[in-house]
Each structure stands twice: as structure tokens, then as C-alpha cells.
Structure 1
Amino acid sequence: MGRFGRCLLVVFVVVGLISAVGGLRDVQSSSEAYSALIGTQRPTFVKVYADGCRYCAELAPHFMFLEQVFGEEIELLAVDGRQARRFVHDMGVRSFPELLLFQGGASDEQEVRTRSFVGKHDGARGAQALASYVSEHTGILARWPGSVVHDVGDPHNWPELELLLQQHPALIALVSPWMDVDHLNQFNGELATSILELLGSRYKDDGLVVYRVDASDARAAHWTNTLRCSFFPTIVLSLAGKSDMYTPENTPLIKFEFLSVTYPGADRMSVTQRLEGLLEHCFVHSAGCREYVNDLPHASYYESLAELRDGSDTYPTQFQDISGDESDESYDYYDLDEDEMLFGYLRDL
């Protein structure tokens, strides 16, 4: 075999290996589409498109970007809808583009159409909307490239919680793909809209490091148990190194849970405002930190990790009206309708 022939062989082998590893695949027939869906154990997000379709062209870069967001955790498949007519008919596709989500493990075409099929995405088609849909239905959180937020456990490193809390000031966000969509976008959305991205960039020069933990990962059990997290998202702020008085065994921690259960006045302060207020009062300026936390719904101040781990949350029974007026009216959390409370708890769990 000549040198040119050997070069061609190397190119074909490399291309074949890349295709086998994963990434975006483009297929032209129904048999290829079904083969791709049968041959994987991972979730597959399918774009059914047509050449010359303007909306398909607009969707293409957002769909392709998901490869960077989810890596090898999901499969991306583009199907030419005008060529793969049997697949289009079987899946009830009536217009282009159409987005279909499948779970892995199908053994034949019948299982692809029934057990494996998750649903169609009919919402917005920007990168964040697509990523939120995938996360909500697969339990796989997006990891946005270029983020200042450190995703714990990415790719295979799981640091010791106790050491991390003692090293430097840290804001730890424990999140879950099963959070409601608003919280999912706020705490795990794209860089332009992520609250964690905003705070990480704003306070980076002050020494604050922002971490995000997928609480649904089995490896996070020690973190959620130690920090006693029952609702997600939950924020834990470590003030390590903010004062010479703080030792590794005596570093103050603040825990702030965002409950889905609402009460009158609860949403008059946005999530961003609450976290900015927390950092301004407790990280930038330490004076008045405990008082600020005590007035913050679902927030608790602890003198150390041992106190958090062994103690009880210090939520006030009466929640003050935070609208800014001088009304003396307050609300008893336990006066909420029991069905409403139960629904909120179950949704978070």
C-alpha cells in the first residue's frame, strides 16, 4: 500500500472512532435513525429537519451547542425528515423542525416508539430552553463551557466537603435536575442568565469561589447529609478566611433554602436580590451578618460545620412582610393549607 493509501486509511479509522465515541450524528434514512436509537444506552435528543427549512437552520447552532453542554452524557441525532419518511410517520412528525427525546436501552423499533420515547419539545428553542428540557426529563444537569462556576464532580473528581469549606470563602449551590424550571434556569442556566455565574463573576476578585453540586448524584449523599439539605436549591456560604478569628474547626456557615412552598410576601424579593444581600452583609461586610440572616426566610447561621451537622435549623416561625411598608401584619408558616404544603414538599423531593 502506498503512502497516500495509508494516509487515507488513517483518516477513515480516525473518523470512524470519532463517530463511535459519540457527538452529533446526521442520518438520512429511517433504518439509520432506528439503528442509532436502538444501539445506545444513553438518552438521545433527536432533531428532525428538512433541507431549505429556515426554522431548521435557525435551530441548528443551538442544537449543536448541546454537545458542549452535555458532552458524552447524551446522544444528539439529526434526522433528514424528507428522506426518513417511515420514521417521520411513526413518530407523528407533522412539521419541521421537530425535537424528540428518547431514553436509551431500546431493543427494537417497537420499543423505540413506545417504552423509549419520552416526548416532544414544543417550547422555546434557544440553547437554555433545550438544555432545561433535557435536564428536566433525563436527570442530567447541563455543564456550560466557560463558566466561572466550579461543577463539583466534573469530570471524575469529588473533593472532600470538610476541606473545601475550610480552604477559602465559598458559595456552594446544591441543585437538582428535578427542581422547578425557574430554579433550574436560575441556578443551572446559560452563562448570560445564571445567578451563580453573575455572583461568581462579581465577587471573584474578592476571593469568593462558587461551586455547584448535583444533589441527585449518588456521590453527593455525604454532602446533602452533612449539610442536612432537604430542598433544592440550597445555598451554603462558608466564611473561611474572612477573619483571623476563624479556625478550620470554627468557620461560620450560612444555609439558605429556596422552598417552593410560598406564603404571602415571599416572592417580593427576587432570588438574585436575596443572594446579593446575603453576600453584601456576610461576605463583603461582616457587621450585622447574623441579624440579616435571622430576618431572611429559610436561612440559618451556624458557628461551625459541627453545629450545622448536629443542630437544628433556626427558621423563624413568624415570617415578616418584606414588601417594605410599615404594616405590622405577619404570617404564620404553619397556617398554610396542608395540601399546598404537602404538594410543595413532594415536588421538591
Structure 2
Amino acid sequence: MTDHPRRMQVLQAIVEDYVASREPVGSKALVERHSLGVSSATVRNDMADLEDEGLIAAPHTSSGRIPTDKGYRYFVDRISEVRPLSVAERRAVRTLLDNSDDMDDIMAGTVQVLSQLTRQVAVIQYPQLDSSVIRRVEFVLLSEQRLLAVMILSTGRVDQRVVYLNEPIDQPALDVLAQVFMTYLDNVSPYYLQHALTEIEAVIAPEHQGLAASLGNALQLLAEAGYQDRILLAGTANLARSPQDFSHSIGPILEALEEQVVLLKLLTEMEQDAHGLSVRIGDENFGSLGDTSVVAAGYGPGDAAKIGVVGPTRMDYPSTMSAVRAIARYLSRILPR
């Protein structure tokens, strides 16, 4: 969609009204509630254009319109600024977090206050507070189609994993690949391994792409084994407040949150935008989380750990983004470095 100012204003109004009311929005209501400065007929034309571009849709039971995932994405990408928390909100954060030096108390207090501020499920990943980096990776051939991947960290920690290959390879060819990996992985934090693996993929010869992908996956699993992969949740009951916001049962969403594996993978891959935030909407998420939106921000050393919320796509994105970013920044100030 071209950035047509009035059409963007109409989309914003539809998003705001639908988030507030959970009711499909019609042109007459938009004209009555918002200072659009045009007639209902003009608004209907704008809504038709927005629908043609897949940004809004008509539920079959109503003549009004609701935002699509694409519409929410378009809206979120054009939020020009993220407002600060109010004085009362900042006071609530300080009250919960300023009076404790215990990491577990800080983590528990943080998800509690974020859940209260957003009325969504709040999630926090424990920070990686050590500064370990990769010192060496080795690939040791065990048989023609089986090898041992070894990762050695600066702390002296050694992790290893057996890798099964789809095709045979000899040790000299494996040593060449190991040299390429070490060129990009030496002195890299395990938290930033995925970025380095992407760079490696770009320089590997085509005939070794499959093998390199298997090796990279093994190293990623080794790196993840070294994380303090603890996640705390608060406010899961908020999902049950509005089950009609989800196209399917909330059961699979609750299971994904409980198991944490999918959520950890998602948080690890989310990259921050110019606001210092990551927003994944609807089918941009994995599996059973494809019916939700996730707003997250990094905090702590290197912004490596994430804090965020999980909720329906019908979410108050500006307020949620504000709360997530503010609390992430506050955490970064009070945590040990």
C-alpha cells in the first residue's frame, strides 16, 4: 500500500476501535468517532482500498471490517514513536523492583508488573550474565557418516554432540570446514552464534552446504545447552479472558508456553527494530503461537536475554510496546553487569 495519509488514518482508526471494542468497525462509526474530515462515502472507498490490499477484512457475520495480520503489521511498522510510561506506571515498576537484590525476586517481580501493565501473558528469559566466548570448535570423524562436534568456551566448559551425516566425508575435508567455522566463530559469544553461522553459510562451497548446515545446527544446540535457559511466565490466565480472540482453542498456546522450547526459539530469533523492540504478528510466529502476537525487547549484557508479552493479535500495540521497552531498559540499569 502506498503511504496514503488518510488511508493510514482510517486503518489506524479501525485498529484502535477494534482493539477497544472487539466489534467489526463500519464507516459510519469511524466518521462519528474520529475527526477524519471526510464523508462516510469517502471512508467506504478508503476501506475498500484497504480491503483490496489485504489490510482489513469483513467477517462473514458483519458488514463492518476488522484488521488482518497484515493490517496490524502495517500499523505497527508505522508507529513513529513509542511513548514513555506514565508517572504512575513508572512508580509501580520501581516499587516492585527497586527493593530487591535477589535475581529470582527481580525476575518474578518483573513479569508480574509487565503482566499487570499489559493484561497479557508476560515472559522473561533469565540473562546470560557471564562473558564466555567460543575458543575452539572441532569436528572429529567417528565413522564415514558420523562425527563428533565439540565446542570449547573461554570458561573451560566443553560440550559435544554426535552428528549423523547424509553422505560420507573424510577427515581432511572436515578439517577444512572446521577452519572456515573457526574463522567466523573465534571469540564469539554463544548468544551470537546464529549470526556467525549465517555468515559461514554464505561462504561455504555449494557441495558442502548440506554438511555445513548439519554442523551449524549441532553447534547451535551445543550453544543453547550452555544458556541459562530459564523462562518465567505471569498472567497466563489473561489468555482465557477473551478466548474469542483466537481462531482455535487456547490449549495448544498454553502448551507451547508451558513447554517453552518454541517460545525460546522465537525469542532468540527476534531482532530489534529502531525502537529497540521486536514484534511478531500472527503467522509470523511458530506453530501454535501463530494465533498470537509477541512483543519483546532485549535487556542485560548485549541485550541477549529477552522480555516480552504474548497475547492475541487484537492487542493495544502502542501501549504494549511502551511497557515492554520501558521495563527492558529499567532492568538493564538495575542488573549487575
Instruction: Give the TM-score band, short-chain normalised.
Output: under 0.3
TM-score (norm 2): 0.21
More helix by share: 2
TM-score (norm 1): 0.21
Taking CA–CA contacts closer than 8 Å with sequence separation of 6 or more, which of the two structures ends up with the larger relative contact order? 2
